[in-house]
Amino acid sequence: MRKLSFFILLFGLVLSLCPALRADEGMWLPSLIEQGHIKDMRAKGFRLKAQDLYAVNRASLKDAIVRFGSGCTGELISDQGLLITNHHCGYGQIQQHSSVEHDYLTDGFAAMNRDEELPNPGLTVSFLVEMRDVTDSILKGVTNTMDETERQQIVEANKKEVVGSATEGNHYRASVEALYYGNQYFLFVYEVFEDVRLVFAPPSAVGKFGGDTDNWMWPRHTGDFSIFRVYASPDNKPAPYSPDNVPYVPKKSFTISLKGIRPGDFTFVYGFPGRTYQYLHSEAVRYIQEKSDPHKVRLRTLRLEVMNRAQAADPAVRIQYAAKNANVSNAWKKWQGEMKGLKRLGTVAKKQAFERRFEAWAADKPEYAGVTERLARLYDSLEPYAFARDYHTEAVLAIELFRFAGTFAGVEEWTPEAIEQVRKRSAAFFKDYVPAIDRETARRLLEEYERHVPESFRPQGGKIDVGAIFDSTLLVDSVRVGRLLAEGDTAAVRRIVDSDAAVRAFRAFTAVYKTRIEPAYKELNGQIDRLYRTYMRGMMEMPGAGKAFYPDANSTLRIAYGKVEGYRPVDAVVYEPVSTLEGVMEKDNPEIYDYNVPARLRRLYETKDYGRWAVNGTVPVAFIATNHTTGGNSGSPVLNGRGELIGVNFDRCWEGTMSDLEYDPEVCRNIALDIRYALFLIDRVGGAGYLLDEMKFAE
């Protein structure tokens, strides 16, 4: 007994020494599950084999998962190319097809047959064909003593060769990605489809129910999904949009579980997490928590105030600025949760303690000794540049006019083709542009910019006169811009563009950024990255650090697993892990746009007419689990132990949004839509029950 408790104590101690490992933490590489976490997964309730998750020469679950666009995940749910992702992932597309007359954002959209499915130029989905450790090939010719520039040249050349041979004689695309700060390299080969059509979207009052108020929050009642279809050439290969294309037949599609979930059930999330920073130095975390996040939050608060007011006053503006607002609001809220979470966990102090232990261990190892101190010094030098850079992106480039001016400023030669390109870009810009919003935003942002950014990082010439820029620029006037570009007089375009006030302002800001901020920022970051490579290797070598390291997310396919579980957000409050239609109706409020439950759903609720979707007299809506996820995991399949689809991931709980830097098993939860809510909505609210005929169910 005595001995045992001593052992447990010791074990607990070892765990707490780890820079990384906590229960359910981790985003694992699918191809390494077989040698790695399959045992633990099976012990916790996974019923399949590693080969069912990832295999190269036969179909596996990975073949049913796509990177959706550049920032989300989606999964195939029929053998006719039907795909489900989040409403917020298809939001840009749904908005693009919307106007005041066809307001698919408000009313939802359902294609009643294949001909009604809407093409989305520019949208792609990528299937992972294969992933492979190519460290040896990439580091061929690299030595420990070589300087960094030389190393980089060799690595780049080797990457080219590896990518070249992976894509030779086929239609695949490939990339080589660094893991563990360049201690390891993996090749990823993708098959990319470009004809992806919109099939179904619920009304925003469902798909974005609760709007930005409920965003990042539990309890949640958002039906955050949309349905697309992947099309291929008649021989089932990727092809640009064509009416002759046919639904893609995937190697694999998910079976949908109708059995439901219970607290404690094993689940896993299989998707494309974007970026995490688990191994960051304490100084970097301190900068994020104490400086970067607070400033960025304040700048975005200003932007949101202006947008919200204008959108509330005019329904056309509400649509025009819907996606922009959602974008700005999303990180704004996340950063607030992140700051709070880091503070509560004391991440900076914990990292400092770890760094001291690391240095003690490294004291007699010249390769590692002093690495964390050198990092601290570099971060100190970096801070002014990082701060100026934050303001460049969050204040200067947040001004829509400046970004638009950048399109003009970036044209080197005004050829007819260049004019045509800019004309297209202008059309898209003016469709959703309200100069009054931008002007007010610019005024307030630049005020902050002048207050906080030291003069040496600002364009010369004193105060920036926003009013004068907006009054004299051509670029806020769609008619005049249209006329200028239509006339196609290249000399005139160049002359007018070069003297335009917005273009000149943009050039002035860009010039300071490019000369006084970016070069130093890049140079210092290069040195920092180099040190991380050493630091990371040291952490992995250091005894007691455990072998359960996982590479930071980098938009490559990963598996995270955990269980359905509630949490305690604050003192005296316990959150249950499952939400239902009852909660949707509790929040129902016709007065508030984001909580105005569609009449049809309200009626179903009143008559309790749920048909086969009834569970204990209601309909399940969403659930939370301990899976470690991040941005990019949106739309990822949430699966049960049998690999059947039980939900679609769409968010994290606010109290746990620091999980990109430190995962806390107590409060870090991913939020998933219960797949049965999506089916109920398609069937009973959207009137597109015919789509269910394509799907496979496990009852």
CA distance 677 to 85: 14
As annotated, the active-site residues are: 88, 224, 634
Q: Token pair of 180, please?
A: 């563990």
Under DSSP, the state recorded for 78 is: S
Q: Which of 651, 655, 674, 683 binds ligand ASP (CB under 6 A)?
A: 651
**Considering the complex, what minimum distance in angstroms separates the CB of residue 294 from ligand ARG?**
20
Q: Judged by CB under 6 A, does residue 276 bind ligand ASP? A: no
Kind of pairing between the strands at 65-68 and 226-232: unpaired
**What percent of the residues of the chain are helix, what percent strand, and what percent coil, each to the nearest 5?**
50, 15, 35
* Residue 93 interacting partner from ligand ASP, ligand ARG, none (CB closer than 5 to 8 Å by kind): none
**Considering the complex, what minimum distance in angstroms separates the CB of residue 332 from ligand ARG?**
9
Burial degree of 351 (CB within 10 A; 0-12, 13-18, 19+) = buried
CA distance 250 to 51: 18
Which of 440/651 has CB closer to ligand ARG? Answer: 651
**Considering the complex, what minimum distance in angstroms separates the CB of residue 275 from ligand ASP?**
10
Using the structure block, give the residue that is written with the tokens 């929040």.
Answer: 587
Q: How many CA atoms lie within 13 A of 384 on its CB side?
A: 12
* Residue 180 interacting partner from ligand ARG, ligand ASP, none (CB closer than 5 to 8 Å by kind): none
**Considering the complex, what minimum distance in angstroms separates the CB of residue 138 from ligand ARG?**
32
Q: Judged by CB under 6 A, does residue 333 bind ligand ASP? A: no
**Among 228-236, 552-560, 574-582, 632-640, the segment contacting ligand ASP (CB under 6 A):** 632-640
Q: Judged by CB under 6 A, does residue 341 bind ligand ASP? A: no
Residue ranges in contact with ligand ARG by CB under 6 A: 88, 208, 211-212, 215-216, 326, 329-330, 631, 634, 651
CB atoms within 10 A of CB 507: 16
CB 519 within 8 A of CB 356: no
Q: Judged by CB under 6 A, does residue 336 bind ligand ASP? A: no
Kind plus residue range of the DSSP H or E element containing 227: strand 226-232
**Among 165-173, 314-322, 343-351, 625-633, the segment contacting ligand ASP (CB under 6 A):** 625-633
Q: Judged by CB under 6 A, does residue 556 bind ligand ASP? A: no
**Considering the complex, what minimum distance in angstroms separates the CB of residue 206 from ligand ASP?**
17
Kind plus residue range of the DSSP H or E element containing 622: strand 620-625
**Among 91-99, 545-553, 592-600, 650-658, the segment contacting ligand ASP (CB under 6 A):** 650-658
* Residues contacting residue 248 through CB under 8 Å, at least 6 positions apart: 80, 81, 193, 229, 230, 231, 232, 236
Q: Token pair of 484, please?
A: 């200028």
Which of 238/635 has CB closer to ligand ASP? Answer: 635
Backbone angles phi, psi at 260, to 5 degrees: 85, 180
Query: What is the SS3 assignment for 197?
Result: strand
CA distance 399 to 480: 20
Q: Judged by CB under 6 A, does residue 426 bind ligand ASP? A: no
**Considering the complex, what minimum distance in angstroms separates the CB of residue 214 from ligand ARG?**
8
Which of 561/613 has CB closer to ligand ASP? Answer: 561
Burial degree of 301 (CB within 10 A; 0-12, 13-18, 19+) = middle
**Among 114-122, 425-433, 507-515, 627-635, the segment contacting ligand ASP (CB under 6 A):** 627-635
Q: Judged by CB under 6 A, does residue 337 bind ligand ASP? A: no
Q: Judged by CB under 6 A, does residue 210 bind ligand ASP? A: no
Q: Which of 631, 643, 647, 686 binds ligand ASP (CB under 6 A)?
A: 631
Amino acid type, 190: Y
Q: Token pair of 173, please?
A: 């695309």
CA distance 114 to 118: 9
Which of 391/623 has CB closer to ligand ASP? Answer: 623
* Residue 329 interacting partner from ligand ARG, ligand ASP, none (CB closer than 5 to 8 Å by kind): ligand ARG
Q: Which residue is nearest to ligand ASP (CB)?
A: 634
Which of 208/563 has CB closer to ligand ARG? Answer: 208
Distinct helix (H) and strand (E) counts, the chain? 26, 20
Peptide bond into 219 cis (omega under 30): yes
- Per the DSSP assignment, residues forming a β-bridge with 645 are 256, 639
CB 464 within 8 A of CB 505: yes
Q: Judged by CB under 6 A, does residue 226 bind ligand ASP? A: no
**Considering the complex, what minimum distance in angstroms separates the CB of residue 207 from ligand ASP?**
13
CA distance 85 to 272: 12
Which of 510/629 has CB closer to ligand ASP? Answer: 629
Q: Judged by CB under 6 A, does residue 214 bind ligand ASP? A: no
* Residue 637 interacting partner from ligand ARG, ligand ASP, none (CB closer than 5 to 8 Å by kind): none
Which of 284/671 has CB closer to ligand ASP? Answer: 671
**Considering the complex, what minimum distance in angstroms separates the CB of residue 310 from ligand ARG?**
18
Q: Judged by CB under 6 A, does residue 222 bind ligand ASP? A: no
Q: Which of 120, 267, 630, 640 binds ligand ASP (CB under 6 A)?
A: 630
Q: How many CA atoms lie within 13 A of 37 on its CB side?
A: 28
Kind of pairing between the strands at 173-179 and 195-201: unpaired
Q: Judged by CB under 6 A, does residue 652 bind ligand ASP? A: yes
Q: Strand runs (DSSP E) across 71-193, as ranges?
A: 72-76, 82-85, 109-110, 118-119, 125-133, 173-179, 184-193
**Considering the complex, what minimum distance in angstroms separates the CB of residue 215 from ligand ARG?**
4
Q: Judged by CB under 6 A, does residue 90 bind ligand ASP? A: no
* Residue 629 interacting partner from ligand ASP, ligand ARG, none (CB closer than 5 to 8 Å by kind): ligand ASP
Segment 33-72, which members bind ligand ASP (CB under 6 A)?
Answer: 72
Kind plus residue range of the DSSP H or E element containing 673: strand 670-674
Q: Name the site residues for ligand ASP (rule: CB under 6 A).
A: 72, 629-634, 650-652
